[in-house]
A and B are shown apart, each in its own frame.
Chain A
Amino acid sequence: EPEVTQTPSHQVTQMGQEVILRCVPISNHLYFYWYRQILGQKVEFLVSFYNNEISEKSEIFDDQFSVERPDGSNFTLKIRSTKLEDSAMYFCASTSQGRETQYFGPGTRLLVL
């Protein structure tokens, strides 16, 4: 069964450093998403991406965040200058059609020290 994959599974970084989280969505999917979940809290939408551009973004997704689909398979989330409060689990998801079932990757646990 096709699945969304994410790397790395864990990342520890110093405050102020840049991090890039990587995702490989399901191959025939067209819509891609990033979410974050702070420990003990709910899953929060960050951004959606379709046709090589951002289609929606939340208030959380400020200028420190960017997304890219550098090739036909990878979908990346970059945090330019990490803050302590960026520590969370980051999930990538994809779907074949908008508003339909999303398939989530296993997540990257980011810890900012």
Chain B
Amino acid sequence: RKEVEQDPGPFNVPEGATVAFNCTYSNSASQSFFWYRQDCRKEPKLLMSVYSSGNEDGRFTAQLNRASQYISLLIRDSKLSDSATYLCVVNNYGQNFVFGPGTRLSVLP
């Protein structure tokens, strides 16, 4: 089983739609969790950290379920500028961060 798995995508949604991404991780001892976005041929940029209590930042909501080893990201009222690849990132131990393969989102006009 891969360490971090994500929805294969791509997701093509109209502007204004709500879209949800899922991520699972294999190491139950994982410590920290993040969602990054990556535009084509650019560096990953932090979207949000994910906390056990769940957290929201504007149109973005992240949830963590440690029992199921599952992380989600919900984007409401999607904009054209949300088009990117969304990366689930997990810190297992020490300074080792594991990236998922990413899920590509295209928001269509």
Task: Give me the interface of A with B, judged by CB distance under 8 Å.
Answer: 31, 33, 35, 41-45, 48, 50, 55-56, 58, 89, 91, 98-107
Contact = CB atoms under 8 A, between A and B. Distances in A.
A89 B94 CA distance: 24
Closest 7 CB pairs of A and B: A48-B95, A104-B43, A43-B99, A42-B101, A56-B95, A99-B32, A99-B91
Contacts, number: 54
Given A43-B44, A102-B46, A105-B43, 17 more contacts: A42-B87, A42-B99, A42-B101, A42-B102, A43-B38, A44-B99, A45-B99, A48-B94, A55-B94, A56-B94, A58-B96, A91-B43, A98-B94, A98-B95, A104-B45, A106-B42, A106-B43
Given A101-B46, A102-B46, A31 B101 contact: no
Interface of B: 31-32, 34, 38, 41-46, 49, 87, 91, 94-102
Of B49, B87, B99, B100, the most chain A CB neighbours within 10 A belong to B99
B33 to A, nearest CB: 10
